[in-house]
Structure 1
Amino acid sequence: MARSGNFVFVGGTDGIGRAAALNVARHGSSILLVARNEDRGAAAVDAMLDAGARDAAFLKADLSTIAGAAAAAQGIKLWRPAIHGLMHSAMSAFSSKTVTTDGLEFAFALQYLARAIVNRLCADALAASGDGRIIHLAGAVPYRMAAPDLDDLQFERRKWSFFKAILTTHVQGFLFLDEASRRWADRQIGLYATGVGSTRTKAMLDPAMPLIMRIMGRFGTTAEKSAVNATRLLLDEAPPAMQAAIFKNPKSFTPAPFDLPTQEAEQLWDITTALASSKGVYLP
């Protein structure tokens, strides 16, 4: 039996996030979609209502900045005081190193920092539901393949590359989820990452994506198939036995522990706190 409630999809107007949101909408839940494009947001809201959502809304947000991520979290909490599920799937295409207005490397800002800020600011609302679940959509990247350099997260000393930047954001997200599970051990919040393979999405086929990514996207699976594990994590009546886990294989619902260096997870948490504070955003 599937549960229903209040569910937020950051990046849910397109791709895998949209597919998961539609699955949840079919069970009569309330849906909030958080993204940048208002036209796609309006179209996605209509699709959620057509699918059977109890109600649906769109929240415009610029997740590339610290202030924008904090504003998104505030909007989420104003939408509903209790959140049953919060899924992150926002990503963007870029062919060269891009720096945000905060002076941060773009992939780090969008695909790690925004997720961490929204999660931490929404933790009370997730706990208030009695069974709040955070879902990070990610590639199942092994730590050894893309261990982040915590002394050079913005690629100021190292040479930037698309794959190095993208892959390390996945590992950074895993470090966040693992550390949050320790800090929130007494709270009713589940923290999960679900791995996906190549998928035919708008972002993957964007001309700004490296050619190999566009080829992978063209021959990849559908967003609906890649959304299966995320949908189950959000809707299953009982959460997985582990408070924090990664589901590496998108074709099977098999949880595994993160198994990451605790000291690095703690350090990244503190770095995140300091970065947010430098822009006047104070994280719990």
Structure 2
Amino acid sequence: MTFGFDTTAAEVLDGVDLTGRRAVVTGGASGIGVETARALAGAGAEVTLAVRDLTAGERTAADIVGTTANKGVRVAPLDLADRASVRAFVSGWDGPLHILVGNAGVMACPLGRTPEGWELQFATNHVGHFTLATGLLPALRAANGARVVAVSSSAHHYSPVVFDDIQYERREYAPWPAYGQSKTANILFAVEADRRWSGDGIRVNALHPGSIRTNLQRHVPREELDRMAKAALGGRPRRFKTTEQGAATSVLLATVDGGGGRYFEDCAEAPVTEPGAFSGVAPYALDPEAAERLWDVTTSLVKE
């Protein structure tokens, strides 16, 4: 079967047996996270939904068990903007981890800061996932062939990582460039993590899931989303995916045996395009020097 825009997560994993594999999906109680977790569970994996809202997580887990007959679906608390929460999740994990899907995130929200003073989108979308992945590194190594998936976005075209003022301390805050910076950071993380970890059999990739109407857009009026989409696409209407289609590229990268440090969309590696194209990947998001610099900056942040 040829995978593409319309492919669903279940179709990607049709005939794939993940029995004995253990997976973590952050933000697994809403949006494409639900269908990512469902597809992995449907293929036999043990899946942990790492979520802020435990009630929603338990409800989602029960639904996935009901639709897949896989009783190995668990729920664990995780708030990516709270360093103590991330540390607790890491310390509570025991044994190997074969698949880590960094799916949770916040989009275009009003200016918010963590207790450390970090801008909320960067802290949640990048720093939280960085801390989680690096903390779980021993478990990923123990899997002997782990996959780490960073869910990014075409919105990375809005901004590179602005190293001179990552936290918006000196420049005026703007929700979309801040979101774009955090999504560029997701891709740069994949580039550098794969460089560092591939020797241990851990491959790391990033992806754009497509345009899907989910709770992620709760801070953005629908009219604004539609207007921005038409502007970015030269006046053409944006094609939206279902959540099942939006999860397809995530589960492909979670299970495929291949390279790393790359960016995918519609279940295929995306071409390098000019910034602002809103398709493909901007060159600055794959820049190995920027990736290494971001790794060092983030390491310093989380050690403070």
The separation in 2 between residues aligned to 1:188 and 1:138, in whole angstroms, is 22
Shift of 1:72: 2.4
Matched letter for residue 19 of structure 1: E
Moved more, 252-261 or 184-193: 252-261
CA shift in 2, pair 1:142/1:90, >3 Å: closer
Q: Is residue 52 of structure 2 the alignment partner of residue 36 of structure 1? A: yes
Number of the residue aligned with 1:232:
252
The separation in 2 between residues aligned to 1:89 and 1:214, in whole angstroms, is 23
Shift of 1:102: 2.0
Q: Is residue 240 of structure 2 the alignment partner of residue 220 of structure 1? A: yes
Contact 1:127 1:189 in 2 (8 A): yes
**Structure 1, residues 40-79: CA drift from partner, whole Å, max 9, x if none?**
011111122221324111111221122222222223x23x
**Structure 1, residues 125-158: CA drift from partner, whole Å, max 9, x if none?**
1121111101111213566x51111121100111
- Stretches of structure 1 that go unaligned for 5 or more consecutive residues are 279-284
Number of the residue aligned with 2:87:
70
Matched letter for residue 165 of structure 2: D
DSSP 3-state at the match of 1:156: coil
Contact 1:95 1:210 in 2 (8 A): no
DSSP 3-state at the match of 1:101: coil
Number of the residue aligned with 2:11:
none
Question: How well do the aligned residues superpose, as a CA RMSD in angstroms?
Answer: 2.3
The separation in 2 between residues aligned to 1:134 and 1:25, in whole angstroms, is 17
Shift of 1:100: 1.4
CA shift in 2, pair 1:6/1:214, >3 Å: farther
Which of these residues, 120, 123, 130, is aligned with residue 109 of structure 1? Answer: 123
Shift of 1:171: 0.7
Question: How does 1:201-212 map onto structure 2 within 5 Å?
Answer: 201-204=214-217, 206=218, 208-211=219-222, 212=224
**Structure 1, residues 146-201: CA drift from partner, whole Å, max 9, x if none?**
11111211001111111101111111111111111222231111101121222021
Q: Is residue 161 of structure 2 the alignment partner of residue 148 of structure 1? A: yes
Q: Is residue 170 of structure 2 the alignment partner of residue 157 of structure 1? A: yes
The separation in 2 between residues aligned to 1:148 and 1:67, in whole angstroms, is 25
Number of the residue aligned with 2:144:
130
Number of the residue aligned with 2:199:
186
Matched letter for residue 100 of structure 1: T
Number of the residue aligned with 2:300:
274
Contact 1:88 1:135 in 2 (8 A): yes
Q: Is residue 35 of structure 2 the alignment partner of residue 19 of structure 1? A: yes
DSSP 3-state at the match of 2:57: helix
CA shift in 2, pair 1:11/1:140, >3 Å: same
The separation in 1 between residues aligned to 2:23 and 2:69, in whole angstroms, is 14
Matched letter for residue 191 of structure 1: V
Number of the residue aligned with 1:139:
153
The TM-score normalised by the length of structure 1 is 0.86
Matched letter for residue 41 of structure 1: G
Matched letter for residue 123 of structure 2: A
The separation in 1 between residues aligned to 2:160 and 2:301, in whole angstroms, is 20
The separation in 1 between residues aligned to 2:58 and 2:226, in whole angstroms, is 27
DSSP 3-state at the match of 1:173: helix
Number of the residue aligned with 1:282:
none
CA shift in 2, pair 1:56/1:72, >3 Å: same
Matched letter for residue 232 of structure 1: L
The separation in 2 between residues aligned to 1:52 and 1:31, in whole angstroms, is 13
Contact 1:27 1:52 in 2 (8 A): no
Matched letter for residue 209 of structure 1: V
The separation in 1 between residues aligned to 2:148 and 2:155, in whole angstroms, is 19
- Stretches of structure 2 that go unaligned for 5 or more consecutive residues are 1-14, 230-237, 273-280
The separation in 2 between residues aligned to 1:59 and 1:97, in whole angstroms, is 28
CA shift in 2, pair 1:138/1:7, >3 Å: same
Pairs aligned (count) = 266
**Structure 1, residues 213-259: CA drift from partner, whole Å, max 9, x if none?**
3887x9832111111111222234xx12x132211x32x43366876
Number of the residue aligned with 1:169:
182
Moved more, 92-101 or 57-66: 92-101
The separation in 2 between residues aligned to 1:255 and 1:180, in whole angstroms, is 19
